Amino acid sequence: MEFNSSIVEKAVDALASFPGVGKRTALRMVMYLLKRPGNEVAGLADALLKLKTELQLCTMCGNVSDAPLCSICSNARRNTASICVVEDFSDQMAVEGTGQFQGVYHILGGLIAPIDGVGPDQLSIANLVQRVSDGGVTEVILAFSATVEGDTTMFYIAKKLRDFPVKISCIARGIAIGGELEYADEITLGRSIMNRTEYRV
């Protein structure tokens, strides 16, 4: 691509650094911005800047937050005895979106992935162990993706918490709701048979 303007080129390059955004998509984004009023573009730039300058991490759970303590950790109606451990804040939002969990969260900031050079020390695991050892916690729910990294992290945390008087559980793996048995992979189907639950009418 040959640009007629270095300003356009820099904006395209900056937008193309987003994962999944190529130069063509970035160019389309720039064309869109050129047609928008100045204050809207300024608002976008400001919103992105604030992610780095104003956003905080909750001192309790590590979630993104506007205040030192996030809105969930500071909510007196949440059950602090139950901690749901997730990889990052988008997973926290997914769990929260189900409306099935009334406890609090703990955000690890990633999963153990030796291939990517991510070890337990880079994650917020020590903080989790501290929260449990501080007492008052009765259950820790491990809600990770069903990947090698998720399983490794699950194993590591379960081992770390083994000696505490706390129930450790992991979210159910199985056939997705609406999923057809015929098309389910063998491992998922195998796990769903192994972990079958009693069905009462």
What are the residues binding its own copies (CB under 8 A)?
1-8, 10-11, 13-15, 17-21, 25, 27-34, 38, 40-55, 58, 63-66, 70-72, 88-90, 92-93, 96-97
CA distances from 165 to 36, 71, 79, 160, 169 (A): 58, 28, 17, 12, 13
CB of 151 to its own copies, least distance (A): 22
Q: Which amino acid is at 68?
A: P
H or E segment and range at residue 27:
helix 23-35
Q: Is the Cβ of residue 25 or residue 127 nearer to its own copies in the bound state? A: 25
Tell me how far, at minimum, the Cβ of 93 lies from its own copies, in Å.
6
Q: From the centroid of its chain, how far is CA 72? A: 15
Q: How far is the CB of 182 from its own copies (least distance, A)?
A: 28
* Measured distance CA(37)–CA(58) in Å, rounded: 35
Tell me whether residue 37 or residue 165 sits nearer to its own copies (CB atom).
37
Q: How crowded is residue 109: how many other Cβ atoms within 10 Å of its Cβ?
A: 17
Closest CA to 100 of 58, 128, 141: 141
CB of 87 to its own copies, least distance (A): 11
Question: Which is nearer to its own copies, 82 or 192 (by Cβ)?
Answer: 82
The SS3 call for residue 186 is: helix
CB of 51 to its own copies, least distance (A): 5
Nearer Cβ to its own copies (73/142): 73
Q: Distance between CA 201 and CA 131 in Å, rounded?
A: 40
CB of 106 closer than 8 Å to CB of 157: no
**Nearer to its own copies (CB atom), residue 60 or residue 168:** 60
